[in-house]
Structure 1
Amino acid sequence: MPVASLRGTVASLMEQARTDLTELVAFRSVADAQLEPPEECEKAAQWLVEKLVELGFSDATAARTPDGSKCVHGHVPGPPGTPTVLLYSHYDVQPPLGETHWISPIWQLTERDGRWYGRGAADCKGNIVMHLTALRALRAEYGEFPCTIKFLSEGSEEQGTGGLEEFVPPNADLLRADAILVVDTGNFAVGIPTLTTTLRGMTSVDVRLAALSSAMHSGMFGGPTPDPVLGLIKMLDSLHDERGNTTIDGLDANQTWPGVDYPAEQFRRDANVLDGVELVGDGSVADLLWARPTATVLGIDIPPVIGSSAAVQAGTAARVSVRVPPGITGLQAQDALVEHLRARVPWGLRCEIERVSVGDPFVGSLRGPAYDAMKASMEEACGHAMTTEGQGGSIPLCNVFANTYPDAEIMLFGVEEPKCLIHAPNESVDPTEIERTALAEALFLRRYATTTRDRASAAAVPEQR
């Protein structure tokens, strides 16, 4: 497949990509009315509808989903005998986490050291722009799309309220496809083409301990009085051994990762680990990050240091999260976590455990015509062998897709490499990742359509005797 001309076309569209991303980042599309006006998400959805209509998606629309958010969808029919590909992304973003932590304006795309900064620049507005760039390149180069394209972008992914997950099953025919590209992950490193082949699931619980009817003076009562804060610390400490390995009763934590290695020094840089601080756990970084369950304390309710008083607290609480690798369901992990914590409540403290959330892990496609076409296209676009990685995060929609379309090949990739700092202040994207990924997607759509059509034609030819 000739690639030089298409590569040049994609490169020529990068100024338009920057304009697109500038306009998209300016929408404060946090899907939480307590943080940003809902009109910001509405405007982002309408912007995307208009861009799709310009590309030939005449039926593009923003449809309301059960959680009140809007998903943008539309389609363009391809030539007869070609497959259907669904392109997914989301236009809502994480809260910015405070202006004081940002070096440049949060909602203004700013170039610095060759990267483009702004909330959503990578996650996931950079991926939306990548889709648009790939589709524009195909239209400019060939005058049409090589196969049927369906587009889907949701507006509440970051809030996890499940609007699109509930929208998909009753609208299965609307979104049905042979291959589904979930573009909300990224490369292992800049320029290294990477498919995310597994997603860890997640579960969380809130643990509340109570010992007293009110806080009591620690000088007068401290000692025999049971301290719920210390009791909670003892319970949380049981979730790991002295090396930092997860030790939840009933959960295997010895799995290994078969894909790409993650060098410890690179991980330290990517994770912003301070000098002199050791990594924890036995095994490789990849084993610990993608193949094993991991417990994290997300928050604790106790008085802050500044303003604290000399008192034994009446009660305390913590939210505990467990990331779940493939091979165990989210509910199984949650059950194990609840039983583990209940068995370690000290001193007869009153304990309540509330189940907060649960989501299953996911395994993407590792074989098939779409996978083969994607691998070849990524390698051609980047000039580097494709690798695979897992992701500690969960995307519940992937399991909804898998259950609704069991015959579809589902693949995850995107522009969100580690330097992007997604979900953190000073999020950014490397524009060369947008360019290379857009080229890979355009090549994939051409290659997948061609190989699928060729196979169908060969199957239709009677066997020669």
Structure 2
Amino acid sequence: MTTPIMTEAELRAAVQRELPGVRADLERLVRIPGIAFEGFDHTHVERSAEAVAELLRGCGLDVEIVRAGGQPAVIGRRAAPPGAPTVMLYAHHDVQPVGDRALWQSDPFEPVERDGRLYGRGAADDKAGIMAHIAALRAFGDRLPVGVVLFIEGEEEYGSESLERLLAAHRDTIASDVIVVADSTNWDIGVPGLTTSLRGLVNCFVEVRTLEQAVHSGMFGGPVPDALTTLVRLLATLHDDAGNVAVDGLTQGVGATVDYPEERFRAEAGVLEGVQLIGTGRITDRIWTKPALAVLGIDSPATGEAPNALVPTAKAKLSVRLAPGDDPTKAYAALREHLHRHAPWGAQVEVSFEHDGAPCVIDSTGPMFDAARSAFRAAWDGTDAVDIGLGGSIPFIATLREMFPQAAILVTGVEDPHARAHGPNESLHLGEFARVCLAEALLLAKVAEVGRG
């Protein structure tokens, strides 16, 4: 006999009951500085994986910690009841470096609540994603109406270098009918979002050489170009006067006609008074469907240590966000060709690849997307979800589409426009987090209903 699916009222009460414990476990995860970047202590990533595995075992899942040459991921599985679909729930347990700690109002790895938000590195991105999955599983207890596979990655913030190997190695274990990727954002506080397009990514380094070694700036300055000035001039060619990316061959598209007032965008981004926005077109075009290019860092003498000498070499790290429909390999070739073609004063230019990721557009029609929208509407008390693009990148979604072409991929998230993911004072809106947890529980119930036909 088929077990009845829990009602919305039952799930609301169950999620509310579980939230205090879920928050306590989230705070424990935030205290683990699991940074997968080179140069950091990776034993913390191992600790993080073990902590996640323990949480999944507590939900009655069969759990293993896996790796494929990179950082540890955690896979937990619970078989579907007869005839029910299986849902993969994705999140990641690694976090970004904290940067300058002086910019944080509190210790980034000691979670603290201020004004209804929980502050700490990973509190939003993406340890809250993990705990939203846990909250839904705990709410159902022994009455889970679908099969679940939890795939919790350990190096997403560092580029997911080993992820495709992991997915291929465990393909049969993680095969699912529905995939929920909890690593995006909602449209606003009080307004859920369903991500339907994501930009891709190309990161690379450009190094400029003009001299065999540093020389006296007074004796040789004037006719001899220093590498840092040369690099600055080269970087300036990457945008036109309006701030649009000026690299030929990159795809540009048109975004959804969602109202995104400039005043709101400026406030959410923290743009200083008097600073102009760059680029042309609607805000949604510029952040969802047009390329963006940023200089992430420069290697050159620090100002406090710089002698009166002409710099012989200078190096910059570039990051290009690619519009949906673009190809990372072609985009990198176009960027490399631009940098060589625009080398000032005959300077030697070397471009080296770091990593890339494909953009994607998701067809958000069908019964599983209807189920998601219905769950969101209920969790947000009648407010419909907004279909949004994501300026950031989740490259493996394209891989999941290739591996499981019949699966519906739902890109959700716990963040809001004020979460400051990747920046100082990252935080989670606790009221929105409660809605996300309820929405996921309702979604699993509705997926089960669709599966039963």
Deviation at 1:430, TM superposition (A): 0.9
Separation of aligned partners in 1, 2:59 and 2:289: 41
Residue in structure 2 matched with residue 203 of structure 1 by the alignment: 202
Read off the aligned partner of 2:366 and give its amino acid letter.
G
CA distance in 1, matches of 2:171, 2:262: 43
Amino acid across the alignment from 1:124:
D
Whole-angstrom distance in 1 between the partners of 2:31 and 2:206: 39
2:320 to 309, 319, 322: 322
* Structure 2 residue corresponding to 1:351, chosen from 325, 345, 349: 349
Amino acid at match of 2:329: L
- How many Å separate the matches in 1 of 2:73 and 2:250? 37
Q: Tell whether the 8 Å contact from 1:210 to 1:351 is kept in structure 2 after alignment.
A: yes
Q: Could you tell me how far apart the structure 2 residues matched to 1:49 and 1:306 are? A: 46
Query: Is 1:54 aligned to residue 58 of structure 2?
Result: yes
Alpha-carbon contact 2:203-2:320 (below 8 Å) kept: yes
The answer to which of 121-130 and 208-217 deviates more is 208-217
Q: In 2, distance between residues paired with 1:295 and 1:31?
A: 24
The one-letter amino acid paired with 1:234 is R
After TM superposition, give the deviation of residue 161 of structure 1 in Å: 4.5
User: Which structure 2 residues correspond to residues 35-50 of structure 1 after superposition, within 5 A?
Assistant: 35-36=40-41, 38-50=42-54
Greater shift after overlay, 228-237 or 287-296? 228-237
Q: CA RMSD in A?
A: 1.7
Decide which of 363, 379, 382 is 1:381's aligned counterpart.
379
Residues of 2 paired with 1:196 and 1:384: CA distance? 16
Offset of 1:33 from its aligned partner? 6.6
Contact 1:259 / 1:389 at 8 angstroms: preserved in 2? no
Contact 2:75 2:152 in 1 (8 A): yes
Instruction: Map residues 7-46 of structure 1 onto 2, 5 A cutoff.
Output: 7-32=12-37, 34-36=39-41, 38-46=42-50
1:122 to 121, 124, 128: 124
5+ residue gaps, structure 1: 455-465
Matches within 5 A, 1:52-451: 52-57=56-61, 59-63=62-66, 65-139=67-141, 143-253=142-252, 255-382=253-380, 383-451=382-450
On the 8 A contact 1:185/1:416 being kept in 2, the answer is: yes
Deviation at 1:339, TM superposition (A): 0.9
Structure 1 residues 43 and 313: CA distance shift in structure 2, 3 A = closer
Measured in 2, the distance between the counterparts of 1:339 and 1:162 equals 25
Name the SS for the 2:451 alignment partner.
Answer: helix
Q: Secondary structure at the match of 1:197?
A: strand
CA offset digits 1:73-109 (Å, max 9, x no partner): 1221222221110001111111222432222222222
Q: Is this contact kept in 2: 1:364–1:412, CA < 8 A?
A: no
- TM-superposed CA distance for 1:252, in Å, is 4.2
Aligned counterparts of 1:275 and 1:159: Cα–Cα separation in 2: 33
Distance 1:108 1:317 in 2: 35
> What's the secondary structure of 2:151's corresponding residue?
strand
Cα distance, 1:346–1:47 mapped onto 2, change above 3 Å: closer
Task: Give 3-state SS (helix, strand or coil) of 1:318's partner.
Answer: strand
Cα distance in 2 between the residues matched to 1:99 and 1:319: 22
1:460 paired residue number: none
1:234 CA drift (Å): 2.2
1:259–1:388: 8 Å Cα contact kept in structure 2? no
Q: Which amino acid aligns with 1:7?
A: R
| SS of match in other structure, 2:305 | coil
Q: Which structure 2 segments of 5+ residues have no match?
A: 1-5
Query: How far did 1:301 drift?
Result: 2.3
Shift of residue 124, structure 1, vs aligned partner: 0.8
AA of the residue aligned to 2:12: R
How far off is 1:444 after superposition?
Answer: 0.9
Residues 421/405 of structure 1: CA separation in 2 closer, same or farther (3 Å cut)? same
Q: Give the conservation status (yes or no) of the 8 Å contact 2:251–2:325.
A: no
Structure 1 stretch displaced more, 276-285 or 74-83: 74-83
Q: State the alpha-carbon separation in 2 of the partners of residues 250 and 342 from structure 1.
A: 15
2-structure distance, mates of 1:432, 1:373: 22
Indicate conservation of the 8 Å contact 2:70/2:161, yes or no.
no
Q: 1:299 to 1:175 in 2, by over 3 A?
A: same
Shift of 1:43: 2.4
| Partner-residue secondary structure (3-state), 1:418 | coil
Deviation at 1:243, TM superposition (A): 0.9
Q: Give deviations 1:306-341, integer Å, cap 9, x for gaps.
A: 333332221222222211011111111111111111
What fraction of aligned residue pairs are identical, expressed as a percent? 40
Kept in 1: contact 2:368–2:450 (CA 8 A): no
Q: 3-state DSSP class of the match of 2:364?
A: coil
2-structure distance, mates of 1:447, 1:295: 41
1:196-222: CA deviations, max 9, x gaps?
Answer: 111111112222121111222222222
Q: Which runs of 4+ in 1 moved over 4 A?
A: none
Change (3 A) 1:98 1:316: closer
Q: 1:148 to 1:291 in 2, by over 3 A?
A: same
Three-state SS of the structure 2 residue aligned to 1:415 is strand
Conserved in 1, the CA contact under 8 Å of 2:251 and 2:326?
Answer: no
Taking the aligned partners of 2:43 and 2:305, their CA distance within structure 1 comes to 39
